[in-house]
Amino acid sequence: MDQRKALYRPSAYEVACLTIHLLLAYEAEKAKGKKNSGFRISRSTLRKLACRRDLRSSFVEEWIYELSNIGWSAFSIDDGFGIIYTSATQNWVKISAKRLDGLLHRVSSGDHIEIEKVVLEVESAMIEEEAAEEE
């Protein structure tokens, strides 16, 4: 008979709370009372907080949902996640698709050349950004 105890695996809500506890502990230790608006954590750190070897996408989605319920927003970046106070986004510029109405009408009508132009423009901007970062 196997005498090993089953390890407790916290719920997504509990992991969200552990995540915020970690962020607040970091602020208390490193930031000396200064509030950071955003943080990054690795997938490895999230696995440790969740007491899991593997992070299923359904668990990550639930964790992100639970963070949002307690005032935080999380999103996937590189090999981890960005986490910000949701309230920090209140002063961000809100944009609408209205300025692209003409373009979107042409694209939805089957004008593939228009979307190809947009893709080339975006890719060119990304290349320029990467070159500027290397300088």
Per-residue pLDDT tens digits for 3-56: 556 688 999 999 999 999 999 898 888 867 677 778 999 999 999 999 999 999
Compute the average pLDDT of residues 55-69. Answer: 97
Q: Which residues have CB under 8 Å from 104's CB, separation 6+?
A: 97
Q: Which residues have CB under 8 Å from 39's CB, separation 6+?
A: 23, 26, 82, 83, 84
> Rounded to an integer, what distance in angstroms lies between the CA atom of residue 5 and that of residue 51?
14
Q: What is the pLDDT of residue 6?
A: 65
Over the Cα atoms of the chain, what is R_g? 21
CB 34 within 8 A of CB 79: no
CB 85 within 8 A of CB 37: yes
Q: What is the pLDDT of residue 34?
A: 72
**pTM for this entry:** 0.76
Would the pLDDT of 1 be above 60?
no
Nearest to 73 by CA among 19, 10, 14: 19
Compute the average pLDDT of residues 48-76. Answer: 96
Q: What is the pLDDT of residue 125?
A: 92
Which CATH code fits 12-89? 3.30.1370
CB 103 within 8 A of CB 114: yes
Q: What is the pLDDT of residue 5?
A: 65
Compute the average pLDDT of residues 111-129. Answer: 92
Q: What is the pLDDT of residue 134?
A: 82
For the chain, the domains span 12-89, 97-134
Predicted confidence band of residue 105 (pLDDT cuts 50, 70, 90): very high
